[in-house]
Amino acid sequence: MAIAPLITKDSSTKIASELAALALGLHHCTVQVRSRHSGGGSGVIWHSDGLIITNAHVARDERVTVELSDGQVIDAVRTSVDPRRDLAALRIEATDLPVVTVGDSDALRVGELVLAMGNPQGVVGALTTGIIHEVGPTDAQYRQRWIMADVRLAPGNSGGPLANARGQVIGINTMIAGGLALAVPSNEVERFLKGGSRPYFGVTLRPVQVLLENKRILGLLVLEVASGSLAMAAGFMLGDVLIGACGQRFNTPDDLVNVLENTEPGESLPLEFLRKGKLYHCNAIARSSFDITGKIAEV
């Protein structure tokens, strides 16, 4: 008895047609980015009014050129950059541009089909496909969240879109690590656009156990305070031990990073710490993404 094929000729033709349509749509929303110091890469038209998202390592210069899918070459200005997320926002003078549909990267599942569009090694509008391997942090990249997929990338793909099977962009392709493609999740891009760069506290920390009120709790020992950083402006010193923020004691070393990432400009940021065994607090104010000020007071 003959075994019925999983994919019939008609369904195969339909799938091929749909993939071609997705590829064409992504191509129209993908640009080539050329920078004097980083060579070239790709970018994604995020808003129709000229906002383009790419990698920070692609747009190292404040002024770059962008080539649209129709061949137009336009000067672009870098309006925001976050090296730790490896994201940059560009602005060009244009309107009514073809724009991507942004998907929810938190809804991705392992094994889901994804498509990567870019301009690898001078090939314009190249498409490659694969499946989601994992979504989460990698040891090599510390707390950065990545979408990891078995998609083939090459120089020139950086900054291009990673899309799901519905054509929604769920990531920005960035690099290859351990044979897997790494992309910045779309929700991380939205946070970048909402608040600019991640808050940078400017300290080197080491998790330690400290004794407070006869209990051992987690603390973050300050090993270094960067010159000119917001931590220095707020008065933090080597040897201080951060133990809490926003009224909550730390349970994991990542808790401070999570608090900073969710702090908006103008929002109060109460910090609690120990200095030479005494408890202090600093009710800091986030004036901008890179600037927090406040006064330290003994509790």
What's the pLDDT score for residue 5? Answer: 53
Tell me what the mean pLDDT of segment 204-217 comes to: 88
Between residues 277 and 186, the one the model is more confident about: 186
Specify the range with the lowest mean pLDDT, choosing from 8-22, 44-58, 81-95, 267-281: 8-22
What's the pLDDT score for residue 281? Answer: 85
Tell me what the mean pLDDT of segment 171-189 comes to: 92
Dist CA 21 CA 235 (whole Å): 57
138 and 210 together in one domain: no
Residue 3 covered by a domain: no
Residue 248 covered by a domain: yes
Collapsing DSSP to helix, strand or coil, 158 comes out as coil
User: What is the average pLDDT value for the chain, to the nearest integer?
Assistant: 83
Residue 2 covered by a domain: no
> Which of 33, 38, 69 has its CA nearest to residue 52?
33
pLDDT band for 42, please (50, 70, 90 cuts): very high
Among residues 153, 168, 194, the one where a domain terminates is: 194
Lookup: tokens for 166: 């519905």
pLDDT for 277 beyond 90: no
Residue 171 covered by a domain: yes
Q: What is the pLDDT of residues 106-145, one digit of tens each?
A: 999 999 999 999 998 878 889 999 999 988 765 443 456 7
Dist CA 185 CA 106 (whole Å): 8
Q: What is the pLDDT of residues 229-271, one digit of tens each?
A: 667 777 888 999 999 988 889 988 878 877 876 766 566 778 8
pLDDT for 39 beyond 80: no
**Tally of domains in the chain:** 3
270 and 214 together in one domain: yes
60 contact partners, CB below 8 Å, separation of at least 6: 35, 37, 38
Residue 1 covered by a domain: no
Residue 82 covered by a domain: yes
What's the pLDDT score for residue 15? Answer: 76
Dist CA 229 CA 126 (whole Å): 42
- Active-site positions read 57, 86, 158
Residue 100 covered by a domain: no
293 and 207 together in one domain: yes
Among residues 194, 223, 258, the one where a domain terminates is: 194
Element (H, E) at 288: strand 278-288
Residue 272 covered by a domain: yes
For residue 145, the enclosing domain spans 105-194
pLDDT for 19 beyond 60: yes
Dist CA 67 CA 70 (whole Å): 8
pLDDT band for 299, please (50, 70, 90 cuts): very low
Among residues 62, 92, 122, the one where a domain terminates is: 92
36 and 87 together in one domain: yes
Lookup: tokens for 34: 């050329």
> Which of 65, 68, 93, 90 has its CA nearest to residue 78?
90
pLDDT for 7 beyond 60: no
